[in-house]
Amino acid sequence: MPTATPQLPVLSYAEALNSPSTFIPALRETLLTSGFFYLADIQQAFPTWDADLKAAFDVSRRFFEEVSVEEKEGMAMRESKHFRGWSGVGSERTKGVVDLREQIDLGPETPPHPSPAPIYLSLYGPNLYPPSQPSFATTISAYRSHLEIIARVLLRLIGESLTSSPELLTAPFYSEDPTTPPYSRMKVVSYPPAPPPGEGGEEGALGVGAHADGGGLTLLAQDSTGGLQVQKWDTGEWIDVTPLGRGELVLNIGQVIENLSADLYTSTTHRVLPVPSTSPRSRLSIPFFFSPVLTSSLTSIPISKLHPELQAQALKEKEVKSEVKRGDLKEVVFGRAAWRGITRSHVEVWERWYGAEKDPVGGPERKG
């Protein structure tokens, strides 16, 4: 395991639970400056954390390495009206360029929505799992349930770091209606070693191209390979998010929290470099995108409700350096943003089940 010196702040989950009064100012400072951080000391809250994390990576590697292409095709995302399931290398796009990764997309496990109008309610539905590896579903679901807890704790503390009415931030992430739960997605991803351009590789292709996450809060576990980079919003410099080998998670906020925070906190641009063709194996990562209910309306915390010391800063214009256009998923209703994000990444799935004639939101292209 590498023992790199982290270039991003390391915050402690144990401190978040035991000493919120010292954790909250550190969290605020981190989100005002860096936008990305490591979360360590999760073991103190979940004694089985290291084993559960390892089990999640073990079932993921077994899936990518052992399940046949025929079985993967049977659980392919194009079979799902709900944009769930497996996508092979080259079938997902970021800003129109193929991503060099293979993945399973998962969401909250529910039946299809009973009346899927508006169209984005079609995003609710069942996941697709590999039939030959039943431990994949149970292991990944158990891991996901830890992340739901950690994300809720962090969300509340992010709310408290901004305002004495944290429910202004947290409300869109709660639902009383079982047909419209919070729409948190999760991916199990493999980045295979890729040939460089000139030796068969596509010019400009990355593991995943530069983007800012569209959801609320991203909690990412990565193996020891490395390759994730974040673009510092103040200088535009790319820095490595090196794995620390401590069972840590990498956290960043998505465009939803950027918007809710009156743009005080930045949803930072990031990317994954291709795995070198000389690497003996694929890089694995498991990002979890903790997100609001699809029907929720997202309105920024009013400046007058922010902590007094943040109000002047919220009024200032902030220049964010980013290789890609930002704010591209700005919508009032979260479902519309989620729909545009996923249909843009998986145009073929959208065309198969919906297409321009049937889609009032406009799928990959914004309408109205």
Ligand X SMILES: O=C(O)CCC(=O)C(=O)O
According to the binding rule CB under 6 A, does residue 60 interact with ligand X?
no
Count of residues touching ligand X (by CB under 6 A):
11
Strands annotated E in the chain: 10-12, 36-40, 85-87, 93-94, 97-98, 102-106, 185-191, 193-194, 208-211, 217-222, 228-231, 238-240, 249-253, 270-272, 275-276, 283-290
**Amino acid (1-letter code) at residue 179:** T
Which tokens in the block code for residue 177?
Answer: 């209606």
Using the Cα atoms of residue 29, residue 253, residue 203 and residue 234 in order, give the sign of their dihedral.
Answer: negative
Least Cβ distance, residue 252 to Fe ion (angstroms)? 7
Our finding on whether 220 is near ligand X (CB under 6 A) is yes
Side-chain half-sphere CA neighbours of 148 within 13 A: 16
Task: Please select the residue that binds ligand X; options are 169, 272, 298, 301, rule is CB under 6 A.
Answer: 272
Q: Which two tokens stand for residue 341?
A: 């994000």
And the tokens for 105?
């997309």
Residue among 161, 211, 229, 214 at smallest CA distance from 184: 214
Task: Give 187 or 346: the residue with its C-beta nearer to ligand X.
Answer: 187
| Residues 145/146/149/155 CA torsion (nearest 10 deg) | -110
Task: Please give the residues from 285 up to 304 whose contact with ligand X meets the rule CB under 6 A.
Answer: 285, 287
161 binds ligand X (CB under 6 A): no
* 65 burial type by CB count under 10 A (0-12 exposed, 13-18 middle, 19+ buried): exposed
Scored b (16 or more CB within 10 A) or e, 127-159 reads: bbbbeeeeebbebbeebbebbeebbbebbbbbb
Give the one residue of 92, 213, 248, 331 binding Fe ion; rule: CB under 5 A: 213
Using CB under 6 A as the binding rule, whether residue 208 contacts ligand X is answered as yes
| Interface segment toward Fe ion; rule CB under 5 A; list 36-44, 134-142, 213-221, 323-331 | 213-221
H helix or E strand, kind and range, residue 315:
helix 308-315
CA dihedral (297, 300, 305, 306) in degrees, to 10, reads 140
Compare residues 189 and 264 and give the one whose CB is closer to ligand X: 189
**Which residues, in sequence order, are CB contacts of 104 under 8 Å at separation 6+?**
63, 75, 85, 86, 128, 187, 188
Minimum CB distance to Fe ion smaller for 86 or for 288? 288
**Binding piece for Fe ion, criterion CB under 5 A, among 89-97, 104-112, 141-149, 206-214:** 206-214
Using CB under 6 A as the binding rule, whether residue 361 contacts ligand X is answered as no
| Interaction between residue 160 and Fe ion (CB under 5 A) | no
- The token pair that represents 24 in the structure block: 């909250």
Q: Which does 272 bind (CB under 5 to 8 A by kind): Fe ion, ligand X, none?
A: ligand X
Nearer to ligand X, 259 or 282 (CB): 282
Cβ-based nearer residue to ligand X, 227 or 335: 227
* Residue 349 near ligand X by CB under 6 A: no
The answer to whether residue 187 forms part of the interface with ligand X (CB under 6 A) is yes
Q: Which stretch binds ligand X (CB under 6 A): 12-20, 220-228, 309-317, 342-350?
A: 220-228
Dig out the tokens for 18 from the structure. 């035991």
Which stretch, 5-13, 66-74, 112-120, 211-219, contacts Fe ion (CB under 5 A)?
211-219
Comparing CB distances to ligand X, the nearer of 160 and 213 is 213
Given 59, 121, 162, 189, the residue binding ligand X (CB under 6 A): 189
Measured in whole angstroms, the distance separating CA 95 from the mean position of its chain's CA atoms is 17
Work out how close the CB of 290 gets to Fe ion at its nearest, in angstroms, rounded to a whole number: 13
By CB under 6 A, residue 99 contacts ligand X: no
Kindly state the smallest distance separating residue 311's Cβ from ligand X, in Å. Answer: 32
By CB under 5 A, residue 359 contacts Fe ion = no
Binding stretches for Fe ion (CB under 5 A): 213
Binding stretches for ligand X (CB under 6 A): 187, 189, 208, 213, 220, 222, 228, 270, 272, 285, 287
